[in-house]
Amino acid sequence: MVQAIRAAADIEISHRATAFAHFAALTGAHKKNMSDALKDFEIRFQRSRQLEAVRGFVARQKAAISSGTTTDTTWAAPLVAQNTLERGFIEYYRTRTVLDKIQGFRRVPFNVRTSAATSGTAVSWVDENQPTPVSAMSFEGLQFTKSKIGGIVVITQELARSSDPAAPELIRDDLAAAMAQYSDEQFLNPSIAATGASPASIVNGATEITSSGTTLAAFTQDLEDLLGALSTNLTAPYIVMRRSTALWVCRLKNESGSDAFPSMGAMGGQIWGIPVIVSDSAPLDSDSPAQRNIVALDAAEILVAEGGVEFRTSTEGTIEMVDTPDSPTTGATVQTSLWQRNLIAIGVNRFIRWQRRRDGAAAFLSSVPF
């Protein structure tokens, strides 16, 4: 029964996300004229389960007030919590990211100063008439400046106006996949250091354990060392690995020929009671052939600030169609006219930042061959 309810909820999320993606594309195709976009949507998807949600979304946009976002503190932010098209897309997107599959992060606000402990209090047994130990905790001040992950997906006018039911799903999947892959890579890749615009990954500068072999005994010892490198209380522990690594782990056999990790599968599971998250965005190293990393973390000791998701569309202007655009542009920068090429650009921004609360909150196992 529970599985049936969850499956129905997943289908509903998928419907809302698809409806949002297609309506966003139609809005761009009609040069942001929502009335015309709604008429087009009604003609093409008159039996859509989400038609009323689209109509409600358009009605909310007609009020003569300043534009709102999903991150402001007045009228627009509460809309994200409702059963709207934007919410559908966000929920669909979040089912695809490591960051949103992990529960127990320590949430902090943007642009508000907070504190983190860099060393804890020492305690010990105290005999009668003996002194109790005294220690000085160490703290550091933290303030999460607002940062965002952003991207643009470009589609043709024909795709936006297509009545093919696969078209809106294609738009939805492209938007969600691009954001999910990048955020996971930034969150997990040990080589990602902090810059002014972005945080370091949670394992940048963390303890590295090098794989000692491919036998069950070697892997078991590596796991023990990896988890031992976490110097926290393991309040919310997680292990993250690629799907190919999960397949290898679930095939390991013990001396009796039984599965060494019976709770593991290709889609994840548990190792020693610790949840395993599977993501093909988990980092590879620079070796040839590339080898895998396995990340262990305590979510309770990871600070995360989040401010929502924004969307925008345009059919005018010029853009540089590369994933590393020039900044600033030069005479050699090649730009594409959206109007001339009959294209629609759909932009997505997610406001988010993370940081280890303590150095021992995360570690990674490197050089895993599978």
Span 193-205, pLDDT tens digits: 998 778 999 999 9
Better pLDDT: 308 or 261: 261
The average pLDDT across 358-365 equals 93
* Together in a domain, 232 and 186: yes
The stretch 120-138 carries a mean pLDDT of 76
Task: Determine the Cα–Cα distance for residues 370 and 243; give it in Å rounded to an integer.
Answer: 9
In this prediction, residue 3 has a pLDDT band, given cuts at 50, 70 and 90, of: very low
Q: Which of 5-19, 127-141, 242-256 has the lowest mean pLDDT?
A: 5-19
| Residue 315 belongs to domain spanning | 1-105+152-370
Which tokens in the block code for residue 188? 């997990």
Q: Is the pLDDT of residue 149 over 80?
A: yes
Mean pLDDT, range 341-356, rounded to an integer: 86
* Look-up of token digits 């695809």: 96
Q: Are residues 133 and 160 in the same domain?
A: no
Angle at 156 between CA 155 and CA 158, to 5 degrees: 135
pLDDT band at 369; cut points 50, 70, 90: confident
Same domain, 174 and 69: yes
Most confident of 119-123, 139-143, 290-294: 290-294
pLDDT of 61 > 80? The answer is no
Q: How many CB atoms lie within 10 A of CB 140?
A: 9
pTM: 0.70
Q: Return the pLDDT at 8.
A: 47
Last residue of a domain, one of 118, 143, 168: 143
Span of 165-174, 222-231, 287-296, 356-365 with lowest mean pLDDT: 165-174
Residues 6+ apart with CB under 8 A from 103: 236, 299
Calculate what percentage of the chain has a pLDDT beyond 70.
Answer: 70
Mean pLDDT confidence for 329-347: 84
Residues 126 and 190 in one domain: no
Question: Are 244 and 268 contained in the same domain?
Answer: yes
Measured distance CA(157)–CA(153) in Å, rounded: 13
Q: How far apart are CA 114 and CA 15, in angstroms?
A: 39
Q: Which of 90, 116, 143 is the last residue of a domain?
A: 143
Calpha distance 18→12 (Å, rounded): 10
